[in-house]
Amino acid sequence: MKRVLTVALVLAFFVLSFAAEKYVYFDENTPYLGAKATGKPGGTLIAPQLGSGPKTVNPIVAQETSSTAVINVFLISLIEMDNYARMYPALAERCEVEVTDDEKMIITLKIRKGIKWSDGAPFTADDFVFSLNDIYCNPDIPNDMANLLEDSQGRLPVAEKVDDYTVKITYQEPYRLAVRYAAGIQILPKHIAEPWVKQGKFKEMWTVDAINKKELVGLGPFIPVEYVPDQFVRMVKNPYYYKKDANGQQLPYLDEYVLKIIPDLNAIRLAFENGEIDVYGVTAQFYPEIKNKAKEKGWIVGTGGPNFGTTFVTLNFNCTDPVKRSWFRNEFFRKAIAYSMDKDAMIDTLLAGLGVAQWGPISAAAAAFYNDDVLRKYPYDLDYARMMLQLGGFSWDKDGNCVDASGNKVEFILMTNAGNTQREGTCNILRDELAKLGIKVVFTPIDFNTLVQKMTATGDWDAIVIGLTGSDEPQGGANVWKLDGALHFWNYSPKVKNFVSADIYEAPDWEVEIDKIFRENVRILDQKKVYQMFSRYQELVSEHLPLIYTIQQNYLYAYVDKLQNLEPTAFGGMLWNIDWIWKK
């Protein structure tokens, strides 16, 4: 219900917006998130961090959640997202977008007055302009954000200071994601970062050593002050944080926020049961047990919708073996595989019933773009699968082996990265089902690095089960879906990877159409049109199945009932509003 509402809201929002050339995203009357919260100050929240600790606290260098989990708490931006990926004002109190007559896009942002960095220095437009121009858009500092900031022609935005509290960002053409990305950069303190940038050593700024040296300065609710390697990161409240609650109480409520690093999933569960941590992202198979203990132990345990991200089977269109290549490029063959996937059984077996089937490239969690109606679905039916094979020119020999039109036995290698139980399980179940169709699959789990090498460096693979992370914004998959994308692994263009020979390369019409969608949508500001474009994309992918999607676990959470104000969702997780969570 909530999801439908969100879509409606987002749509209404944008349809209204671009009717006029100038649109106010939000103004001084829009309250920031948490302005209506109530609670009592004090307390410590301890959250687990699976795996290892932060590698760095420099936002440019950081690439893994263990680092960003810390950085996101002390570095914030002009805008912020709530738990349903809706945009809200944060450090900026007003955001206006204007498309000029010469098709330039100008974003004007007004910054709240009187905000201070955690070291007491004032926060002004200079900090933002410096962060955008000299860090994120600095060609000497290659970073992932730059890729998102570019418009469709690869041009970067330019920020200008109008006065101490007003900045102007200029794009050379309308860019749909401009506000989200350009205003969404994590702002760094100019007075600290500038010398590093000038010396060309910005990437060496703020290694994890900086935490214990108390060098970190931020605008966020908590500032990391202690890091014990592979043990925990301790963050204390920022006395200068800009938010106040409904009663004028300074936020955040919590005194301390601790990330405890625990390398093992079993141990996380036991630590939660033992009261060592306050929140726990429940593993599906443990869910009923944890939920049934909840009342007695004083926990709040629940399920959200499906998670972001996708898991799929991919077949190598440019397989070196011409026979296999012809199967994998055969759409009926791919459809046969889709029909032979018993997703309900997979969900029950691998996710303890707490998951959903995926049919297209956008997870249902990305509510604003997910369109269930356009998706072609392939319910489990081996007879349908056999029919598809027949339509694709396959038949069966007298021993029941599936053979192609030229009489070759259908046999291929299915790989996945070893150690991922869900993917291994998917392969195992699929292997068994395909055996019933007379297709012999050799299943080989292999270490992740070797798998990546095969996919991206040698092209020497048949079929792989792997997953991609996703977000609420489909454009995040541009690298995957553009024909020359660096992750277009099933059908790399010879221009991108030299292991694909130009003689065998083919880009089917529908791939070209998808490519076009990803190139053009960013120039279109009308959200309704974008929605239609991405609907078409979902339709094309589910119809032609370059990737055959599998299943996705639901978001599951548990936390102690002493914690208040939590509103967990798959997008925000449990601690998206850490600044107004409080502890009884």
Partner 1 sequence: MLKYIGRRLIISLPELLIISLMIFLIMYAAPGDFLDQYRLDPSVSPQRLKAMEEEFGLNKPAIVQYLTWLKNVLKGNLGYSFYYRRPVSTLIWERVAATLILSLISLASSWILGIALGVFTALKKYSIGDKIMTFLAFGFVAIPEFFLGLVLLYFAAKTGWFPISGMKSVYYSSLSTWERFKDILWHLILPATALSLGSFAGLMRYMRGSLLDVLNEDYVVFARAKGMPERVVIFKHAMRNAINPMITFLGFSISGLLGGALFVENVFGWPGMGRLVYQALIQQDMYIVMASGLISAVLLVAGNLVADILLALVDPRVRLS
Partner 2 sequence: MTETNNNNQKIEFEEKYLTRGQLIWRAFLRHRPGVIALCILIAMYILAIFADFFSPYNPIEQSLKHTYSPPTRIHRTYKSVKTKPYVLPMISYVDKVTYERTYKEMLFPSKLVLEKPDGSIVTYELGKDGVESFKFSVNSIESIKIDGQWYDVKKSPRTTDYFLFGYNDETLSKGLSRVETTSAVAQEMYFKSYSSKFGLTSEYQIEAVAVTESLDTIVVKKDGKFEMLKAKVIDYDYKTYPVKWFIRSWNGKLLWLFPMNIHLFGVENYDNNQYVKLFILGSDLYGRDVWSRIVFASRISLSIGIIGMIITFAFALLFGGISGYYGGLIDEGLMRFAEIIMSIPGFYLMIMLRAMLPLDLPSTQIYILLVFILSFIGWAGTSRVIRGMVLSIRQREFVEAAVAIGLPNSKVLARHVLPNTATYLIVNATLRIPGYILGEAGLSFLGLGIREPYASWGLMLAQAQDVYIMTKAPWLLIPGIFIFITVISFNFVGDALRDALDPRSLG
* Residue of the chain from 449, 502, 503, 509 that contacts partner 2 (CB under 8 A): 449
| Contact criterion met (CB below 8 Å) for 50 and 263 | yes
Q: Is 52 left (phi over 0), alpha (psi -120 to 50) or beta?
A: beta
Binding piece for partner 2, criterion CB under 8 A, among 237-245, 427-435, 465-473, 522-530: 427-435
- Among partner 1, partner 2, none, the one that 415 touches (CB under a kind-dependent 5 to 8 A) is partner 2
Binding piece for partner 1, criterion CB under 8 A, among 392-400, 475-483, 509-517, 558-566: 475-483
Task: Specify the residue for token string 């994998």.
Answer: 328
Cis bond before residue 252 (omega within 30° of 0): yes
* Residue of the chain from 107, 235, 375, 455 that contacts partner 1 (CB under 8 A): 455
Binding piece for partner 1, criterion CB under 8 A, among 126-134, 138-146, 238-246, 548-556: 138-146
| Contact criterion met (CB below 8 Å) for 90 and 577 | no
Binding piece for partner 2, criterion CB under 8 A, among 154-162, 205-213, 262-270, 374-382: 262-270
Rule CB under 8 A: is residue 269 a binding residue for partner 2? Answer: yes
- Among partner 2, partner 1, none, the one that 354 touches (CB under a kind-dependent 5 to 8 A) is partner 2
* Tokens describing residue 322: 């011409």
**Cβ burial 513-522 (10 Å sphere, 16+ → b, else e):** ebbebbeebb
Tell me the CA distances in angstroms from 421 to 232, 303, 341, 518, one per residue in order: 27, 21, 17, 33
Rule CB under 8 A: is residue 408 a binding residue for partner 2? Answer: no
- Among partner 1, partner 2, none, the one that 52 touches (CB under a kind-dependent 5 to 8 A) is partner 1
CB of 448 to partner 1, least distance (A): 7
C-alpha of 152 from chain center: 21
Strands 411-417 and 463-468: parallel
Residue 556 backbone phi and psi in degrees, to 5: -125, 140
CB of 451 to partner 2, least distance (A): 9
Tally the C-alpha atoms within 13 A of residue 516's C-alpha that lie toward its C-beta. 10
The H or E element spanning position 45 is: strand 44-50
Is the CB of 54 or the CB of 572 nearer to partner 1? 54
Q: Of residues 515-544, which lie at the interface with partner 2 (CB under 8 A)?
A: none
Rule CB under 8 A: is residue 353 a binding residue for partner 2? Answer: yes
Rule CB under 8 A: is residue 144 a binding residue for partner 1? Answer: yes
Single-letter residue type at 35: A
Is the CB of 244 or the CB of 562 nearer to partner 2? 562
C-alpha of 154 from chain center: 22
CB of 71 to partner 1, least distance (A): 14
Rule CB under 8 A: is residue 52 a binding residue for partner 1? Answer: yes
- Among partner 1, partner 2, none, the one that 207 touches (CB under a kind-dependent 5 to 8 A) is partner 1
Rule CB under 8 A: is residue 345 a binding residue for partner 2? Answer: yes
Instruction: Please tell me the count of residues contacting partner 2 according to CB under 8 A.
Output: 42
* Tokens describing residue 484: 């020359």
Q: Of residues 172-231, which lie at the interface with partner 2 (CB under 8 A)?
A: none
Rule CB under 8 A: is residue 193 a binding residue for partner 1? Answer: no
- Among partner 1, partner 2, none, the one that 455 touches (CB under a kind-dependent 5 to 8 A) is partner 1
The CA-CA-CA angle for residues 131, 120, 35, to 5°, reads 80
Q: Helix (H, G, I), strand (E, B), or coil: what is residue 75?
A: coil
CB under 8 Å to 556, separation ≥6 — which residues? 281, 282, 283, 284, 287, 301, 302, 303, 304, 354
Q: Of residues 61-100, which lie at the interface with partner 1 (CB under 8 A)?
A: 61, 63
- Among partner 2, partner 1, none, the one that 152 touches (CB under a kind-dependent 5 to 8 A) is none
Angle, helix 527-544 to helix 2-17, in steps of 10 degrees: 130
User: What is the maximum span of the chain, computed from C-alpha positions, in angstroms?
Assistant: 82
CB of 265 to partner 2, least distance (A): 9
- Among partner 1, partner 2, none, the one that 442 touches (CB under a kind-dependent 5 to 8 A) is partner 2
Q: Positive or negative CA dihedral for 248, 184, 165, 103?
A: negative
Task: Specify the residue for token string 């006065």.
Answer: 163
CA distance 454 to 451: 5
CB under 8 Å to 118, separation ≥6 — which residues? 74, 216, 217, 218, 219, 223, 238, 239, 240
Burial classification of residue 177, based on how many CB atoms lie within 10 Å of its CB (0-12 exposed, 13-18 middle, 19 or more buried): middle
- Among partner 1, partner 2, none, the one that 432 touches (CB under a kind-dependent 5 to 8 A) is partner 2
- Among partner 2, partner 1, none, the one that 56 touches (CB under a kind-dependent 5 to 8 A) is partner 1
Rule CB under 8 A: is residue 204 a binding residue for partner 1? Answer: yes
Is the CB of 110 or the CB of 176 nearer to partner 1? 176
Rule CB under 8 A: is residue 16 a binding residue for partner 2? Answer: no
Rule CB under 8 A: is residue 267 a binding residue for partner 1? Answer: yes
Rule CB under 8 A: is residue 415 a binding residue for partner 2? Answer: yes
CA distance 79 to 186: 10
* Residue of the chain from 31, 263, 379, 400 that contacts partner 1 (CB under 8 A): 263
Contacts with partner 2, 282-321, as mask; x by CB under 8 A: -x-xxxx--xx-xx-----xxx------------------
> What is the DSSP track for 81-109?
E-TTS-EEESSEEEEEEEE-TTS-EEEEE
Rule CB under 8 A: is residue 109 a binding residue for partner 1? Answer: no
Q: Helix (H, G, I), strand (E, B), or coil: what is residue 236?
A: strand
Is the CB of 121 or the CB of 323 nearer to partner 2? 323
Tell me the CA distances in angstroms from 309 to 349, 463, 471, 474, 476, one per residue in order: 20, 19, 7, 11, 11
Binding site for partner 2 (CB under 8 A): 266, 269-270, 283, 285-288, 291-292, 294-295, 301-303, 342, 345, 348-349, 352-354, 413, 415, 418-419, 424-425, 427-429, 431-432, 442-447, 449-450, 453
Binding site for partner 1 (CB under 8 A): 44, 46, 52, 55-56, 61, 63, 142-144, 146-147, 203-204, 207-209, 226, 228-232, 234, 258, 260-264, 266-268, 270-271, 273-276, 447-450, 452-453, 455-456, 466, 468-469, 476-480, 486-487
